Homo-oligomer: A and B are copies of this chain.
């Protein structure tokens, strides 16, 4: 088999006459060699299993979403579990697919100029969040440690000069995020940006990377309930950071959302004439509510592990055979946190 894992990001396959040259391991090989202890189980309470209507040929379509860990976006995460547990999501649909931007799902009769019916009533017990909750100011110890150590490193490296930084020490992986924030890092498997505010106070916000899931909203001060969700299907729309709540990310089945036909209406909504293109969502369940035998099990590569630091560094400086010039850096959305399904 010519397709070694090291070719995982190559753009062409090696010709049969051409042997793969030797080189450093590719990021995918580093992940494949991770120890069992490097992987962290994702709680079933943090997994949403979304079942779409099957494809035309009958193939099933299941999407699994990992919900955001505390302290980020917990009000919306609460609501999303409530929507799922009340069955409210069952029977909604994908109503919008805008190329290089988002796929969005919700009640097709809510906030849709193409609606033909009446919106379904929302369940009771929903929380209402303020815009301040798009960010975390009360930085938890884990993030604070990262931030403090980055500061110490900056002071040591370049006295008096706050500068963007790529750092690949275990537990301290962070990358320059200058167009958008001071630096970006990871917390419990999720990417976040770290904004330096006045008086060197800092706030953290999750980042809009490919596959991240957020909450549709109306104009400010509305912050959305969680009834309407979207996922990023293109280049990271980082201008949405701090403007909208991120609640998780797709960890399996992303292709079922990214390869849907684009809507031809404004903002990529399907027009009334295209109503047949709206993909029905049959059900959304919190995995912990499923029978034990049906609960999927996933793990993410600990973002505090040595393996993750090695992986991130290898992404920033590709030395595997296909590459001739390492980039020398990576943006936060290039460093995708590895997730794997654990088969029984």
Contacts and interface: CB of A to CB of B under 8 A. Distances in A.
Interface of A: 1-3, 7-15, 18, 20-21, 97, 99-102, 104, 111-113, 131, 134, 161, 164, 166, 175-180, 209-211, 214, 216-220, 222, 224, 228, 230, 234-244, 254-255, 258-262, 266-267, 269, 315-316, 318, 321-331, 333-334
A318 B239 contact: yes
Contact of A112 (B13, B20, B210, B238): B13
A330 to B, nearest CB: 6
Chain A interface SS verdict (over half): loop
Given A13-B111, A254-B100, A325 B166 contact: no
B3 A329 contact: no
B244 A3 contact: no
Contact of A101 (B9, B112, B224, B324): B9
B209 A111 contact: no
Given A180-B327, A239-B334, A258 B100 contact: yes
What 8 pairs between A and B have smallest CB-CB spacing?
Answer: A179-B329, A12-B216, A255-B262, A3-B266, A239-B327, A242-B325, A13-B111, A210-B235
A255 B238 CA distance: 22
Contacts of A259: 97, 99, 258-262
Copies assembled: 2
B100 A327 contact: no
Q: Which of A211, A222, A243, A326 has the most CB of B within 10 A?
A: A243
B11 A102 contact: yes
Given A219-B322, A239-B323, A330-B239, A11 B211 contact: no
Contacts of A112: 13
A209 B102 CA distance: 17
B224 A12 contact: yes
A184 B258 CA distance: 28
A226 to B, nearest CB: 12
Nearest to A215: B11
Contact of A238 (B218, B258, B327): B327
A229 to B, nearest CB: 10
A305 to B, nearest CB: 22
B234 A210 contact: yes
A327 B243 CA distance: 9
Nearest to A176: B178
A238 B15 contact: no
A74 to B, nearest CB: 20
A334 to B, nearest CB: 7
Contacts of A325: 134, 242-243
